[in-house]
Amino acid sequence: MNKLIDILNIQLPIIQGGMGNISNARLAAAVSNAGGLGTIGAGTMQPEEVEKIILETKQLTNKPFAVNVALSVSPYTKEILGMIIKHAVQAVSLSAGNPAPFIPKLKEHGVKVICVVASPKQAVKAEKAGADVIVAEGYEAAGINSNLETTTFTLIPQIASKVTVPIAAAGGIGDGKGLAAALALGASGVQMGTRLIATKEAPFHEEYKNTLLSADDQGTVIVGRSVGRVRRVLKTPYSDYLLEKEAIGITLEDFNGLTTEEHHKLGALQGKLDRGFINGGQISSIISDIPSVEDLFVCIMKDAKEELMRASNLI
Nearest to ligand FMN of 24, 90 (CB atom): 24
User: Shortest approach of ligand FMN to residue 145 CB, angstroms?
Assistant: 9
Closer by beta carbon to ligand FMN, 62 or else 151: 151
Quote the CA–CA distance of 297 and 315 in Å, as a whole number. 28
CA pair distance 215, 176, nearest whole angstrom = 20
Among 12, 50, 80, 137, binds ligand FMN (CB under 6 A): 137
Distance CA 289, CA 195 (A): 10
Size of the site for ligand FMN (CB under 6 A): 29
* Nearer CB in complex with ligand FMN: 90/191: 191
- Site for ligand FMN contains 172 (CB under 6 A): yes
User: With binding defined as CB under 6 A, does residue 176 bind ligand FMN?
Assistant: no
178 binds ligand FMN (CB under 6 A): no
- 13, 35, 36, 41: which one binds ligand FMN (CB under 6 A): 41
Q: Which of 81, 126, 142, 273 binds ligand FMN (CB under 6 A)?
A: 142
Q: Which is nearer to ligand FMN, 132 or 137 (CB)?
A: 137
Shortest Cβ 152–ligand FMN spacing (Å)? 8
Specify the pairing of strand 65-70 against strand 38-41.
parallel
Nearer to ligand FMN, 32 or 191 (CB): 191
CB of 234 to ligand FMN, least distance (A): 10
Binding site for ligand FMN (CB under 6 A): 17-20, 22, 41, 43, 68, 70, 95, 116, 137, 140-143, 170-173, 191-195, 197, 279, 281, 283
